[in-house]
Structures are given as C-alpha cells and as structure tokens.
Amino acid sequence: MSGVYVVLEDRNGRIGRISFEAIAAANILAAQSGSKPTAIVIGTQTEALAAEAATKSVGKVVRIEHALLSYTPDGYNAALKQFIAAESPDTIVFPHTYQVRDYAPALAARLGRVLIGDVTQIAEGPVFIRSLMQGRLSGSYKSSGSPTLISVQSGAFRAEEGQSGPAEIATFTPSIEASQIRTKPGEPFRGAAQTVDLSSAPMIVAVGRGIREEGNLSLVQDLAASLGAEIAASRPICDNGWLPIERQVGSSGQTVAPKLYLAVGISGAIQHLVGMKGSQCIVAINKDAEAPIFEVADYGIVGDLFEVVPALTEAIKSARQ
C-alpha cells in the first residue's frame, strides 16, 4: 500500500482553488507518515495542469491521460479504478466540487468503499469530521481498510500559498473502451457572464436583513466598492430578489473563505455561518450585542449599520486617497 493521493480538478485549463485546499488536507494526512501526497490530474491533455501541480506542495504528480477522458463519470471512474488497482493508495482526497459529487460516490461503490464527503477537519487517527443536520451536529468518521476516500469542503482547509517542487511527473495510461462510457460529454458548464464565483473572492461584504429594504443596498454596495470587495448576502435578501441567488452565502448558497468577510446586519444563523466561518478575518456590524455572528467574528462593531457603514466607507475612501 502506498500513501496519500489527491485528485486535482481542471477549471478551464487551470487547477481550481479548492484543489489547492485539497492538497493542504492531503498534506495533513501525509505528514502523519512523514511523506508528501501524490497529485493526480485527469483528462485528455494534462501536461499544463501537471506542470502547475508539480510546483505545489506534493511529492509527485501523476497524469492519468487518455483520449476518452473528457469528463464523464464512467470515464473517470474506469480510469481511477485501474489506477487504484495498480497503486493501492491508502487514502485519496478529492475537492468537494459538483464534478466530484457526480463521480466519486460511484467510484467508492465500485470499490466497495464509502466516500466520506464534505470533510471540514482532520484530527489525529486520522479522524474525519463533517457537519450534519445543516451544521447543528458534527460527525467523526474513522476508516477501516483502504483506500479511504474523502472529499474536503470548500474553505475548510487553507490552501497552501507556498510553492515547492518541481515534483516528478509520471503518466498513467488507463485502457478505456468507448463502449464503457454511457454518457456523452456536453459543453463544459459555464455560468452566465454575470455569475460570480464568490468562493475565490479575496474580500466580501455581505448584507443581511438588517438593511431593511432594497433601496438601502447602495450603502453596502458603496462600502464594497471602496474596498474592491464582492457583495454577498444572507438568504432573506436573495429570497426577496434584492440580490441574485448566486450571491447567497450559506448552507443553501455558496461556501466562501475570503481574507476578509464583512457581515453587515446579519444575525449569524447556523445556515449562514456554515458558508463563511472559514474566512480568515470576520468583521461583523450588528446593533444587537448578543447576535451569534459575534461568536465567530474577529472584530465586532455593535452599532446601527446606517451610521457605521457610511462612516466606514468614508474612512476607507480617505485612507485610500
């Protein structure tokens, strides 16, 4: 048996940020045996992805390449199953993306294993921790046997900024027949032009029901503009149609992990917190000193947002002049 592997995902020809977070999680596991993880890139042309992966904190990169490996769950699973049979990994870490949710549970079933999905923490053992019941409970999972398959939640592990390498790059060529692939790859999914990927925004100003009405949103939009931040919201704001649904943060919205998350008039319900508690610095403005958002905030301002936000915007603008 050999080591910890991490599958990296191709996002328009580059490795997506959540894959770097998966590398960080794989490093936590690999460090327990004093080794480095092996990165896996999959596709029809993986040279550039492998070169990018080789500069990260990995011991080796494997390109699983085949002309039939444009993404389909059947193709990926056939290839990974052969690779696993050849390498007998102890653990494979996946980023918890839509694509991984599409194929990895079936891969686990084919191997007679389970996928421990959406892991938020790894403790000694290793023990894998994930949220249950919309974040009200957390469950601890231990794996017996191998391979252990886990996927890690976006924002739960801090992507390693440091580069190392270049790591050795190897190629694995699976044997795949066209008849094994039951679905036809369509055009890769691209969001509408105005769709934002909040998960990669370095700064976010998020607004909640404390803003009272749609016409007041310009207050937080000015604050976001002064910082160069993306705007986001709690669910009631999006339910009201004041901001588009893709700007919702939380259990039924996006999971984000910016350097700065500024929560304005948001109470901090658990369904909101699960989407932003991985942020590096959380600043909350709320008139209720008992609001649960202050339990996760690094800095809190107890005050009326209609006074605090314009003053803050002015202060930021003049500091930036």
Which positions from 247 through 276 interact with ligand FAD, judged by CB under 6 A?
Answer: 248-253, 265-267, 269, 271-272, 275
Which positions from 105 through 144 interact with ligand FAD, judged by CB under 6 A?
Answer: 134
What 3-state class would DSSP assign to 129? strand
Binding status of residue 304 toward ligand FAD by CB under 6 A: yes
Structure-token pair, residue 193: 């032009």
Q: Which of residues 214, 288, 298, 314 is near ligand FAD by CB under 6 A?
A: 288
Q: Which of residues 56, 235, 247, 277 is near ligand FAD by CB under 6 A?
A: 235
Cα dihedral 259→99→169→62 (10° resolution):
130
Give Cα 35 distance to the centre of its chain.
24
What 3-state class would DSSP assign to 100? helix
Choose among 257, 235, 258: nearest CA to 246: 235
- Report which residue type is found at 4: V
Binding status of residue 216 toward ligand FAD by CB under 6 A: no
Q: Which of residues 79, 122, 219, 305 is near ligand FAD by CB under 6 A?
A: 305
Burial class (CB within 10 angstroms; exposed 0-12, middle 13-18, buried 19+) of 9: buried
Contact segment (CB under 6 A) with ligand FAD among 33-41, 56-64, 153-161, 298-306 equals: 298-306
Structure-token pair, residue 203: 């700064």
Count other Cβ atoms within 10 Å, centred on residue 50. 23
Using CB atoms, what's the residue nearest to ligand FAD? 250
Give min distance, CB of 102 to ligand FAD, in A: 22
Task: Name which of 23 and 266 has its Cβ closer to ligand FAD.
Answer: 266
Enumerate binding residues for ligand FAD (CB under 6 A).
134, 208-210, 234-236, 248-253, 265-267, 269, 271-272, 275, 285-288, 291, 304-306
